[in-house]
Amino acid sequence: MTEAIVDFVEDDALDHFGAREHSPYRFFTAETWAKFRADTPLTLSEDEVQRLRSMNDPVDLDEVRQIYLSLSRLLSAHVESSQMLFSQRKQFLSLSEEQKTPFIIGVAGSVAVGKSTTARIIKELMARWPSSPKVDLVTTDGFLLPNAVLAERGIMNRKGFPESYHIGAILRFMSDIKAGRPNVHAPKYSHLTYDVLPDEYQLVDRPDILIFEGVNVLQARPLPVDGKAVPMVSDFFDFSIYIDADEDLLHSWYIERFMKLRQTAFKKPESYFHRHAKVSESDALATAEALWRDINLVNLHNNILPTRPRADVILRKGANHLIEEVALRRL
């Protein structure tokens, strides 16, 4: 039995979604997936898409039409099903005043894969559904431990790894959201200063839908030996999405982004990475390569990629940074 499991894992490494005859997913090319859009209207303009996309991400209206409108339709079906189940359970339990809690969507994937763009586009499309739901987007960056704490613990070079997050704060936040509590605070983060912003928060007030985005949101935690219950962040998700790409593509996209930031944000004196804007291009490139090899690649292998099979949908990108295949978990 053990050998069979090992063989299956090795197959999974060779064929990015695993041995497909045994896979819990159905696979669709981008062209086939686009047909599931049906009559879902396009509610974004080209200017809005450009505003939503991150640096180095070429997503445009064609990508929205081909991938995201079908995804929006699928998510709408899941939200409606959740609401129907809630109504049936409410009737079953004779609960006259209980309110439906937010539908939570997790978005995971490697650094530089385009999670933020995907999350922002989904948010805008869902907010423009005919029912006009209230949709909020929160990232895990604000739940990172402050740099001073990371430095004190000697794990500054493991920022983005599971141990660099305030897991208790994340679980309390998710629990409060799922319980329907009003005015829940999510800490804010500055990518310019590369640190949590003290005493600055995003207010999340009982949204209909919450999108929670971050590299490790599908991460499972080590189980304790004392029998205590251990909640996972993903336990609060109603749906989850993993953005995927080949490792060599992720590597090149990370390096390209780092070098572009060196010409833009890094030039600001208040930037944490300002020193990299003043060194030679070859030195900056060497730094980017080291950051990828020693931190981001290790995190990808040990913590992020292993969570891919836990997602409901996997959006796989090709060399042009556009989604070329969609894997949907079977029901």
**Residue-level pLDDT at 227:** 77
Mean pLDDT, rounded, of the chain:
91
Q: Are 229 and 299 in contact (CB under 8 A)?
A: no
**Residue-level pLDDT at 66:** 95
279 contacts: CB under 8 Å, gap ≥ 6 = 287
**Residue-level pLDDT at 4:** 38
**Residue-level pLDDT at 194:** 96
Q: Are 72 and 315 in contact (CB under 8 A)?
A: no
Q: Which residue has the tokens 């996972």?
A: 232
pLDDT digits (tens, 9 = 90+) for 101-144: 999 999 999 999 999 999 999 999 999 999 999 999 999 999 99
pLDDT at 311 over 80: yes
* 195-204 and 184-190 strand pairing: antiparallel
CATH class of 2-329: alpha beta
Q: Average pLDDT for residues 141-150, to the nearest whole number?
A: 97
Q: Which residue has the tokens 């995003």?
A: 202
Q: Average pLDDT for residues 146-160, to the nearest whole number?
A: 96
In whole angstroms, give the CA distance from residue 295 to residue 3. Answer: 31
Domain spans, the chain: 2-329
**Residue-level pLDDT at 12:** 44
Q: Which two tokens stand for residue 279?
A: 């060194």
**Residue-level pLDDT at 21:** 72
Coil vs helix vs strand at 284: helix
Q: How far is CA 33 from CA 13, 42, 166, 235, in A?
A: 24, 16, 38, 28
Q: CA 216 from chain center: how many Å?
A: 8
Q: CA 146 from chain center: how many Å?
A: 21
pLDDT at 16 over 80: no
Sorting pLDDT into bands at 50, 70 and 90, what band is 18?
A: low
Neighbours of 64 (CB within 10 A): 22
Q: Average pLDDT for residues 257-264, to the nearest whole number?
A: 94
Extended strands (E) in 173-248: 184-190, 195-204, 209-213, 239-244
C-alpha closest to that of 65 among 329, 322, 263, 331: 322
Q: Which two tokens stand for residue 35?
A: 């047909």
Residue, of 278 and 13, whose pLDDT is higher: 278
**Residue-level pLDDT at 30:** 97
pLDDT at 1 over 90: no
DSSP string over 11-63: HHHHSTT--GGG-SEEEEEHHHHHGGGTT------HHHHHHHSPTT----HHH
**Residue-level pLDDT at 67:** 97
Sorting pLDDT into bands at 50, 70 and 90, what band is 15?
A: low
Residue, of 22 and 114, whose pLDDT is higher: 114
DSSP-derived letter for residue 113 is S
Q: Average pLDDT for residues 69-81, to the nearest whole number?
A: 97
Q: Average pLDDT for residues 206-228, to the nearest whole number?
A: 89
